[in-house]
Amino acid sequence: MVNKNNLTSVEYGALWTTYQKKTMILCILEYFIEKSEEPKAKDLMKGLHEKLAVKVKEIKKMIETSGGIVPLGFTAEDVHLDAPKLFDQGFDIMFSRVLKEISMGMYVLHTTISYRKDIIDIYRELTELTQKYYLYFTEYLQQNKWMLDPPTINMPHSRSFLNDKDYMKGTNILGSRRGFNIVEYGLIYHSLESNILGMQLMKGFAQSSSDLEVKKYFQKGYELSKKIYKDTEEMLIESNIPSPSIPSGVVTNSTIPPFSEKLMLYCTYLLNGFSIGGQGFGAVFHLRNDVILQSGLFAKDVFAFGLKGARLMMEKGWLEEPPSMDL
């Protein structure tokens, strides 16, 4: 594999997107670090910030060396360090963990469309960094009881293969639904975990936004996350599975925005894409048709919400345009 000075179009696109996302995360971490009152949490976020800042400089240099324009991304103007604390203790690490979860998936995608060795190397290094801090954040949350383990089951003593078509219907001739298997439950648990955190994030963004149109958008985001959470929880209850108690952090009573509307909208847009991907992934592994249908409906609603957010960013002049395919 030979290093070349020129970036291919897809490599430029990958680095362009990564630069935007990383500068956003740096801003979020800066605010969380400034407001953190817990030494261990502060140290973890500082460590991640320092290492990510180095990678952002490397990406910037790669683009500039190839003659490309570096995106503006997010700067000091997009974070308000003097703003009061918007989220209570625990939320900062919970949300940082979710951002690392998204990053892992994006790095895999970007690696598969990169051909230069130095670019593949930077995504490999970012992946290793992300996995390491994802583990650190998970351990921190578990140690501080901010994250509870999913339930255990009675282990099976034999194997079996499916030959009943009703298994996919989710119902039998009497109309009763079959219970979830462990693969399906894992996907449902992750959906609950993601959406309860999303509810708190949207609540905080809506509460602190000074733009009425943007505020209403975040309020709709809160209602959408709440609906997905409640509908998913109801499926568990119908299968006689207790709804898990999942910590989500607390929003304070502050109404002063810690971030620019531009950053908050972009962050929401990014999470929407992650949610759509999660619903699609879940539909592949669910074997109950009713759940597959429900996942499709969730994805449709999230897609419509995300599309509205993109249009809102464009109307406000906050959505940076990627370079065009000028051959």
Encode pLDDT of 271-298 as tens digits: 998 888 777 766 777 888 888 888 888 9
36 contacts: CB under 8 Å, gap ≥ 6: 42, 45, 89, 92
Torsion of CA 305, 307, 310, 315, to 10 degrees: -100
Residues 177 and 309 reside in one and the same domain: yes
Instruction: Yes or no: say if 216 and 169 are a contact pair by the CB < 8 Å rule.
Output: no
Over 50: is that where the pLDDT of 2 sits? no
Residues 114 and 220 reside in one and the same domain: no
The arithmetic mean of pLDDT across residues 315-321, rounded, is 95
Residues 272 and 172 reside in one and the same domain: yes
Q: For the chain, report the end-to-end CA distance as a whole number of angstroms.
A: 24
Q: State what percent of residues in the chain have pLDDT above 90.
A: 71
Residues 84 and 119 reside in one and the same domain: yes
Domain count, the chain: 2
Rounded distance, CA 86 to CA 32, Å? 10
Q: Provide the CATH number for the domain around residue 175.
A: 1.20.1260.10
Q: Is the dihedral angle over the CA atoms 21, 128, 12, 303 positive or is it negative?
A: negative
DSSP state of 79: B
Min mean pLDDT across 51-55, 91-95, 168-172 is at 168-172
- β-partners of residue 171 are 177
Rounded distance, CA 40 to CA 243, Å? 31
Residues 89 and 187 reside in one and the same domain: no
Domain boundaries, position 227: 166-316
Give the residue from 143, 177, 199 where a domain finishes: 143
Instruction: Yes or no: say if 70 and 60 are a contact pair by the CB < 8 Å rule.
Output: yes
Over 70: is that where the pLDDT of 260 sits? yes
Residues 80 and 215 reside in one and the same domain: no
In a domain, 152, yes or no: no
Rounded distance, CA 7 to CA 68, Å? 9
In a domain, 67, yes or no: yes
Q: Looking at the chain, how many residues does it have?
A: 327
Over 70: is that where the pLDDT of 174 sits? no
Across 49-53, 101-105, 190-194, the highest mean pLDDT is recorded for 49-53
What is the pTM (predicted TM-score) of this model?
0.92
In a domain, 148, yes or no: no
pLDDT on residue 168: 80
Give the residue from 143, 177, 203 where a domain finishes: 143
Residues 110 and 175 reside in one and the same domain: no
Question: Which of these, 130, 117, 118, lies nearest to 62 by C-alpha position?
Answer: 118
pLDDT on residue 1: 46
Residues 297 and 263 reside in one and the same domain: yes
Q: Is 25 exposed, middle or buried (0-12, 13-18, 19+ CB in 10 A)?
A: buried
In a domain, 72, yes or no: yes
Residues 119 and 237 reside in one and the same domain: no
Residues 125 and 172 reside in one and the same domain: no
pLDDT on residue 242: 83
Residues 180 and 223 reside in one and the same domain: yes
pLDDT on residue 170: 64
In a domain, 153, yes or no: no
In a domain, 267, yes or no: yes
Q: For 102-155, write each residue's pLDDT tens digit.
A: 999 999 999 999 999 999 999 999 999 999 999 999 999 999 988 888 888 899
Residues 126 and 172 reside in one and the same domain: no
Over 60: is that where the pLDDT of 177 sits? yes
Over 60: is that where the pLDDT of 4 sits? no
Min mean pLDDT across 23-27, 60-64, 178-182 is at 178-182
Instruction: Yes or no: say if 120 and 111 are a contact pair by the CB < 8 Å rule.
Output: yes
pLDDT on residue 245: 78
In a domain, 161, yes or no: no
pLDDT on residue 317: 96
In a domain, 58, yes or no: yes
